[in-house]
Structure 1
Amino acid sequence: MCGIVGLFLKNPEMEPQLGQLLSGMLSTMCERGPDSAGFAVYGAAEDGRTKVTLQSPNAAEDFAKLKAALSKDKKLDAKFSVNDTHAVLSIPSDKLADIKAMLAADFTSIRTMATGENIEIYKEVGNPNDVAKRFDLAHMTGTHAIGHTRMATESAVTTLGAHPFSTGSDECLVHNGSLSNHASLRRELVRDGMTFNTENDTEVAASYLTWRMKQGMNLGEALEKSLDDLDGFFNFVVGTKEGFGVVRDPIACKPAVMAETDDYVAFGSEYRALVGLPGIDKARVWEPEPATVYFWQR
């Protein structure tokens, strides 16, 4: 079933409230997806630096070893902060290849959740309220964020199988629905050099959009093309460095509602996810049209 929430802030004065507002929205979706939860938060970038969000099933041991290794190599100029089972590594952008090589060679149990100037992704198995509290979502700040609660129907309940999925720099995708042609599409993407960490069909959708944008499409064009190439029923909410987009399949059988004010744009799988937002009583509220791409950016 799954539940999706998204919040894009137009008003910079609201940025300190982003985590608190998204946490409240995510809490209402627990019944739609009690197995696991995750969220992507787009925060402030540092000039010339890239953030890498990491996760480990042996976080205390792995992150202590990684922190020690990073401290020995002063040329990496790494900043490292741990948040429960996740950590955010900030490095000069020209050192990204070096970090990837280090992780692949010496830290094989550490997984990369996201890479980009702005994005951080946190996701774990468990009740969505508990997941949000573990990572202190309510105190996170930023410009926009996407959250997801999962009811696993097509793959195992694991951290890697939880949403969001990130397959490109500052890109992420969450999904409510099911794709019928994800296996054949996965094979095509693998032939073109894309790699996968799970059997989840949502990772295929995320990789598809990244693949299309590598071919020169912008996000809007990639989402339009997905309506031709992806077979099934779905609501996609996509995050980028600049904003977020929404698209529903041509049948639009999965529920979705949006609201817009001068201060924000919000998405929810149900209207109850939006009722706690400030000014919702004066918002323009509507159901997104089938096979129609919506996108907002800063």
Structure 2
Amino acid sequence: MCGIVGLFLKNPALEPKLGEFVSAMLETMSDRGPDSAGFAVYGAGEPERVKLTLRVEGGPGSTEKLLGELETALGTPVESTVHDNHVVARVPAKEVERARVWLASARPDVKVVGIGRRMELYKGVGLPARVSERFDLPHMRGTHAIGHTRMATESAVTTDGAHPYSTGMDQCLVHNGSLSNHNAVRRLLQHEGFGFETENDTEVAAGYLTWRMRQGASLKEALEASLEDLDGFYTFVVGTENGFAVLRDPIACKPAVMAETEDYVAFGSEYRALVGLPGIETARVFEPEPATVYVWERV
């Protein structure tokens, strides 16, 4: 079943409360997905640094050891922020690829959850409220965020199976529904050089959008192409460095509702996820049209 939430802030004055709003929205969607949860927050970035969100098992000592090894490998200080078993390592932009290669060879036990100038990505097993609390989501600030609560119906309950999935810089995807041709698309993308870490069809959808955009398509064009190439029933919410996008399949059998005010645009699998937002009483509330791409971005 699963639940999706998204919040894009137009009003900078609300940015300190982004995490508080999204945490409440995720908790409301708990009964649509009590098994695991995840979210991506787009906060402040640094021009010369890129954030690597890493999942490190083994406790604080393991995190400190990893960061020391990474600094030694790169030959430069690595700034970091730790949230439970996830650490956001901020490395010089020119060292990102070297950091990825080193992690893959020297520390394959460490999971690279996401990479971006502004994106931080967290996910874990358990009730959404507990996941939010573990990673201190209520105190995170930023311009926008997307989140997901999962009810595992086709695979095991694992952190790897939780959403969002990220296959591109500052880009991630959450998904409610099921793709019927994801194995065929997976083979196509593997032929194009993509690697996959799970059997989840959402990871394939994320990879598909990244592939299209690497070919020169805009996010809107990539989502429009997915209507032809991805078969199934689904709602996609995509986070990018500058905003987020929404797409429902042509039948639109999965629930979705949006609200827009002068201060924000919000998405929820159900309206009750939005009722705690300020000014919701006067918001323009609407259901996204089938097979129609909606994009909101800051310029």
TM-score, scaled relative to structure 1: 0.98
What is the rounded CA distance, in whole Å, between the counterparts of 1:142 and 1:223 in structure 2?
A: 25
What is the rounded CA distance, in whole Å, between the counterparts of 2:5 and 2:198 in structure 1?
A: 23
Per-residue CA deviations over 1:101-136 (Å, capped at 9, x if unaligned) read 221122111000000100000000011110000001
Structure 2 SS opposite 1:141: coil
**Amino acid corresponding to residue 106 of structure 1 in structure 2:** A
**Amino acid corresponding to residue 217 of structure 2 in structure 1:** M
What is the rounded CA distance, in whole Å, between the counterparts of 2:295 and 2:71 in structure 1?
A: 41
What is the rounded CA distance, in whole Å, between the counterparts of 1:170 and 1:241 in structure 2?
A: 5
What is the rounded CA distance, in whole Å, between the counterparts of 1:198 and 1:151 in structure 2?
A: 16
What is the rounded CA distance, in whole Å, between the counterparts of 1:175 and 1:62 in structure 2?
A: 32
Q: Compute the displacement of 1:76 (Å).
A: 2.4
The residue correspondences of 1:66-105 to structure 2 (distance < 5 A) are 66-72=66-72, 75-105=75-105
Per-residue CA deviations over 1:76-110 (Å, capped at 9, x if unaligned) read 23112221010000011001122112211221110
Q: Does 1:160 align with 2:173?
A: no
Range that drifts further, 198-207 or 150-159: 150-159
CA contact (8 A) 1:235 1:254 kept: yes
What is the rounded CA distance, in whole Å, between the counterparts of 2:187 and 2:32 in structure 1?
A: 31
Range that drifts further, 220-229 or 98-107: 98-107
What is the rounded CA distance, in whole Å, between the counterparts of 1:297 and 1:237 in structure 2?
A: 13
**Amino acid corresponding to residue 166 of structure 2 in structure 1:** S
What is the rounded CA distance, in whole Å, between the counterparts of 1:193 and 1:289 in structure 2?
A: 34
Structure 1: runs of 5+ lacking an equivalent: none
CA contact (8 A) 2:257 2:269 kept: yes
Q: Compute the displacement of 1:158 (Å).
A: 0.8
**Amino acid corresponding to residue 41 of structure 1 in structure 2:** V
What is the rounded CA distance, in whole Å, between the counterparts of 1:45 and 1:222 in structure 2?
A: 25
Aligned partner of 1:285 in structure 2 is: 285
What is the rounded CA distance, in whole Å, between the counterparts of 2:228 and 2:73 in structure 1?
A: 48
The residue correspondences of 1:65-144 to structure 2 (distance < 5 A) are 65-72=65-72, 75-144=75-144
What is the rounded CA distance, in whole Å, between the counterparts of 1:229 and 1:79 in structure 2?
A: 41
Aligned partner of 1:214 in structure 2 is: 214
**Amino acid corresponding to residue 264 of structure 2 in structure 1:** Y
What is the rounded CA distance, in whole Å, between the counterparts of 1:59 and 1:245 in structure 2?
A: 36
CA contact (8 A) 2:227 2:291 kept: yes
Aligned partner of 2:252 in structure 1 is: 252
What is the rounded CA distance, in whole Å, between the counterparts of 1:60 and 1:197 in structure 2?
A: 25
CA contact (8 A) 2:73 2:102 kept: no
**Amino acid corresponding to residue 53 of structure 2 in structure 1:** T
**Amino acid corresponding to residue 189 of structure 1 in structure 2:** L
Aligned partner of 1:3 in structure 2 is: 3
Aligned partner of 1:224 in structure 2 is: 224
**Amino acid corresponding to residue 224 of structure 2 in structure 1:** E
CA contact (8 A) 1:5 1:146 kept: yes
Aligned partner of 2:17 in structure 1 is: 17
What is the rounded CA distance, in whole Å, between the counterparts of 1:201 and 1:14 in structure 2?
A: 34
**Amino acid corresponding to residue 14 of structure 1 in structure 2:** L
Structure 2 SS opposite 1:76: coil
**Amino acid corresponding to residue 221 of structure 2 in structure 1:** E
Aligned partner of 2:269 in structure 1 is: 269
What is the rounded CA distance, in whole Å, between the counterparts of 2:83 and 2:194 in structure 1?
A: 29
CA contact (8 A) 2:67 2:78 kept: no
Q: Which runs of 4+ in 1 moved over 6 A?
A: none
What is the rounded CA distance, in whole Å, between the counterparts of 2:48 and 2:98 in structure 1?
A: 15
What is the percent sequence identity of the aligned residues? 63
Please report the RMSD computed on the Cα atoms of aligned residues, expressed in angstroms: 1.1
Structure 2 SS opposite 1:53: strand
What is the rounded CA distance, in whole Å, between the counterparts of 2:228 and 2:98 in structure 1?
A: 38
CA contact (8 A) 1:62 1:107 kept: no
Aligned partner of 1:237 in structure 2 is: 237
CA contact (8 A) 1:182 1:204 kept: yes
What is the rounded CA distance, in whole Å, between the counterparts of 2:23 and 2:84 in structure 1?
A: 17
Per-residue CA deviations over 1:222-272 (Å, capped at 9, x if unaligned) read 000000110000000000001000000000000000000000000000000
**Amino acid corresponding to residue 43 of structure 2 in structure 1:** G
